[in-house]
Structure 1
Amino acid sequence: MATINRDFITKKPFNDFKNYPYGFARSGDFSIREAELLSQHGSLIAALMNVEVEPMSAEEQSLLAVARGEKAAETTVEKAWSKYQARINRPKVGSMYGRSRYTDEAFEISGGDDDDLVVED
């Protein structure tokens, strides 16, 4: 049963519709080669991270160590996955304009009568 599951996972292309709804290649964050590597190997790496499958080779153990942050990326697949993780885990920007510097209270007229302007016709 594990081999069928493993074969299904390795053949399934990886997509992240939450963060990249139009795909990795159209996002502008990844090169064409990195987008291909993510779609080919991303499902396996995600399954290794979620402990759905066990690593069977030294390459997969290395991928898992890089994905966990225990080791620096060396191969192109590892570098692409590290770049993907850095992109999806970056801090989110709340607003381009930020919070307003002025509040409504700053524009309210104070109770003093000394600076009232009276215009008569």
Structure 2
Amino acid sequence: MATQNRDLITKKSFNDFKNYPYGFARSGDFSIRESELLSKHGNLIAALLAGDIEPINSEEQSLLAVARGEKAAVSLVEKAWVKYQGRINRQKVASMYGRSRFSDESFDYGSHDDDLVVED
């Protein structure tokens, strides 16, 4: 049963439609090789992190250690995963100019004393 689960996980292509709706290759964040590696090995790494499967060899143990942040990335797959995690977990910039001048609660939409009236 576990081997069937592992086979299903490794055969499926990894996609992150929330952060990369058009795919890794079209995002501009990753090279072609990095996007291929993420698509091929992303489900395996995600399953290892979630605890759905156990690592069976030293490569998978190394992938798991890098994904947890316990060691530095060495292989191309590990570097691609670290780059992916850095991209999806980066701080979002709301505005380059800071907060808006008026907040929605403090701005009074009902007062029309300042309306300009032009008469002919």
Q: Which residue of 1 aligns with 2:32?
A: 32
Q: Which residue of 2 aligns with 1:111?
A: none
Q: Which residue of 2 aligns with 1:54?
A: 54
In 1, distance between residues paired with 2:102 and 2:58? 59
Q: Aligned pair 1:65/2:55, yes or no? A: no
One-letter amino acid matched to 1:62 = S
The count of aligned residue pairs is 105
The correspondence of residues 1-12 of structure 1 with structure 2, limited to 5 A, is: 1-12=1-12
Q: Offset at 1:77?
A: 0.3
Structure 2: where are the runs of 5+ without partners? 108-120
Q: Aligned pair 1:18/2:4, yes or no? A: no
Deviations 1:7-52, CA, capped at 9 Å, x for gaps: 0000000000000000000000000000000000000000000000
In 2, distance between residues paired with 1:79 and 1:42? 12
Structure 1: where are the runs of 5+ without partners? 106-121
The structure with the larger Rg is 1
Q: Which residue of 2 aligns with 1:115?
A: none
TM-score normalised over the length of structure 1: 0.82
What's the RMSD between the two structures over aligned residues?
A: 1.7
